[in-house]
Amino acid sequence: MPKIAFIGAGSTIFAKNLIGDMLLRPGIDPVTIALHDIDQERLGTSEIVARRVADSVDCQAEIIATTDRRQALEQADYVIAMFQVAGYEPGTVIDFEVPKRYGLRQTIGDTIGIGGIMRGLRTIPVMLDIARDMEELCPDALLLNYVNPMSILCLALNRATSICSIGLCHSVQDTVRSLAYDLKTPQEEIQYLCAGINHMAFYLSLEHKGESLYPALHKIVTDGRVPAGNRVRYEMLERLGYFVTESSVHLSEYVPWFIKRDRPDLISKFNIPLDEYPRRCREQIKGGDALRADLEDPSMPLPVELSSEYASRIIASIESGTEDCINGNVMNDGLIDNLPANCVVEVPIKLGTPGTGYEPQPVGALPPHLAALIQTNVNVHLLTVEAALTGKREHIYHAAMMDPHTAAELDLDQIWSLVDDLIEAHGDWLPAYH
């Protein structure tokens, strides 16, 4: 009877989807689900929802809810991390509003960019505390991380702890779904090989019945049928020859070419929604009370169906020994030849293998221009983690200096001053740096 601990279970909708996956997926029932959050009210809602989900699918599930993280982790077999340090306010507000004083604008700010760097620095200490609790209470548990910035956190976990972890995202499978729609091709009939880093992996092959789908994707561009919300990715397809996993909203701030203070025409041409993540946060907060009431109301419908998330597939394969394959984030241990060995990469992972239950698959060398572009993001990952693990303030400056979007907009004096202002604004949410 596996025990699955959800750390950050107050993210109720995401928790509901993952719990539904666990209870619907063959090979996991019966199961113990331990829900943890520091917010008692949100945790209470998630507990009600978990019990409603279990009742609706008639599953043998023991549900535990606690604000004591150690209790949730004790003797866990799997730990799912799904939290956000400092939340929308003050965290996200600071990450967006302080850079605006310098003319530096963002869309999401959770992966790299100055927002991703600061989110990483806030989150790494908490993630390492969780891992140290795991080393004591459930040292053999597998940590499945959904927290951003994904690559930065997975790298810190691998460098500073003994815990086995896989970083999980939905960008690979969700992009295939959106491409299937664009191509008018059934998603289940598309075969692909995808590799790179989280939010910047590329479909090295994309086929339908043995034929490449890339000519059809290029024809979408020449026919003028590019979806309005996906112009950045299709532009990059034309420039690079390969399609990237993460959305145009995200990708526009991972590279130096689309968001520029002196080029408002680019924002319009590529339909880039600046301040998109704060907008989403405000919408969620605005509708939070009504949503909570609906979720807790037993008379309201609560549909439960399998999501596209990978976590339940991993657990089901390990528990039952059945084979499967997903894309996940792990250390580059001979997986991508032309990226550094000390970075985290996103590659196919074979599930159900004897021993560990999973086996990352080597993909060889990426096309050189893709590896070069990815390296610009890897530089930021490496320097942010270096700052967090050494406590050296200088590496925060270095990470910001190397960030593609920040460097395209600000000079060196501005970058250093911005970092100083952000550290001061975050106050006790950050450890002391020297």
Quick check: is 405 catalytic? no
The span from the first CA to the last CA of the chain, in angstroms, equals 47
Helix or strand run (H / E) with residue 190: strand 190-197
Please count the other Cβ atoms lying within 10 Å of the Cβ belonging to residue 316. 23
Query: Exactly one of 170, 199, 398, 434 is catalytic; which is it?
Result: 170
Contacts of 429 (CB under 8 A, 6+ apart): 85, 86, 90, 91, 122
Give the tokens for residue 358.
Answer: 């999973």
d(CA 270, CA 234): 10
Helix axis angle, 288-296 relative to 12-24, nearest 10°?
A: 30
For residues 295 and 48, the answer to whether their CB atoms sit within 8 Å is yes
- Please, is 218 exposed, middle or buried when counting C-beta atoms within 10 Å of its C-beta (0-12, 13-18, 19+)? middle
DSSP state of 89: I
d(CA 160, CA 140): 16
Q: How far is CA 373 from CA 176, 255, 378, in A?
A: 22, 8, 9
For residues 257 and 238, the answer to whether their CB atoms sit within 8 Å is no
* Three-state DSSP state, 430: coil
Please count the other Cβ atoms lying within 10 Å of the Cβ belonging to residue 284. 12
For residues 373 and 379, the answer to whether their CB atoms sit within 8 Å is no
d(CA 78, CA 151): 20
Nearest to residue 399, comparing CAs of 13, 132, 112? Answer: 112
Nearest to residue 151, comparing CAs of 118, 120, 193? Answer: 120
**Tokens 């059945």 map to which residue?**
322
For residues 49 and 295, the answer to whether their CB atoms sit within 8 Å is yes
The set of catalytic residues is 170
